Amino acid sequence: MKNSELTEVRCGDCPIRHRAVCARCDGDELALLESMKSYKQYDAGDVMMWRGEPLSHVASVVDGVASLSKTLEDGRTQMVGLLLPSDFIGRPGRTQIEFDVTATTDVTLCRFERKPFERLVIETPHVAQRLMELALDELDAARDWMLLLGRKTAREKIATFIDMLARRNITGAHGADITLEIPMTRDQIANYLGLTLETVSRQFNALKKEGVISFSGRKHIEVVDLGALRHATGDDADGGMLS
């Protein structure tokens, strides 16, 4: 299926309304964003943006998961990040994209033309403030990522990956098992975490055997023991309450 334009959802009804770049906007600011936005959908596997191509739009992920990757001159490709709902693509002031962006699942974007959005950022402090918060969150994630790749064991990497999804995509109630949709194949997870496919499968099965997680279908995991999962990440903190 080719990329398709979608019927727009009103900002007030948007599922990422309180987490995305518009989170701090008042009614008038939301109306302005509403007049600028357009929706676009990509099928799983579609390349949404190529590294180095002109950045005509910036966007928020409304639904689905996309990957960020870079390819070296010899053809080796490394996945360097994931984009989850409410994450922002593109940077005001930059004219090209710095990574290949690929739809891991079906993805819906809420897009804004770059130049009008840049003017909006200057004129709308609430949008500028939220962009700064998102950028700082991304910086924290990058530092955590350096720790994961450089120091963590295979078990800690898998536990951290599951915990990351749990923090962003909770569907279970507090105190209940947390059910997660895994948006990637195990081969993709291996690439993302710098592991082999066999190691990924072995660590998933070990966590299942220990009663930390259970599998519900091919693409769903239930976090049975959140405390044990957090302990398995190796982080020197309990991570606080899920929100």
Q: Say whether pLDDT at 238 is over 90.
A: no
Q: What is the DSSP string of 46-77?
A: -EEE-TTSB--EEEEEEES-EEEEEE-TTS-E
* pTM, full prediction: 0.80
Phi-psi sector, 76: left (phi>0), alpha (psi -120 to 50), beta: beta
Residue ranges, CATH 1.10.10.10, the chain: 153-232
Judged on CB neighbours under 10 Å (0-12, 13-18, 19+), 34 is: middle
The predicted pLDDT at position 171 comes to 44
Spatial CA neighbour of 164 closest among 77, 239, 79: 239
Regarding the domain delimited by 153-232, which CATH topology (the fold level of the hierarchy) does it fall under?
Answer: Arc Repressor Mutant, subunit A (1.10.10)
Q: What pLDDT digit, counting tens, does each position of 120-134 carry?
A: 999 888 999 999 999
Residue ranges, CATH 2.60.120.10, the chain: 4-148
Q: What is the pLDDT averaged over residues 59-77?
A: 88
Q: Given pLDDT bands bounded at 50, 70 and 90, which one contains residue 1?
A: very low
CATH number belonging to domain 4-148: 2.60.120.10
Name the CA radius of gyration of the chain, rounded: 19
Can you tell me the distance from the alpha carbon of 216 to that of 222, in angstroms, rounded to the nearest whole number?
A: 7
Q: What pLDDT digit, counting tens, does each position of 42-62 carry?
A: 999 999 999 999 999 999 999
Structure tokens at 92: 């005001």
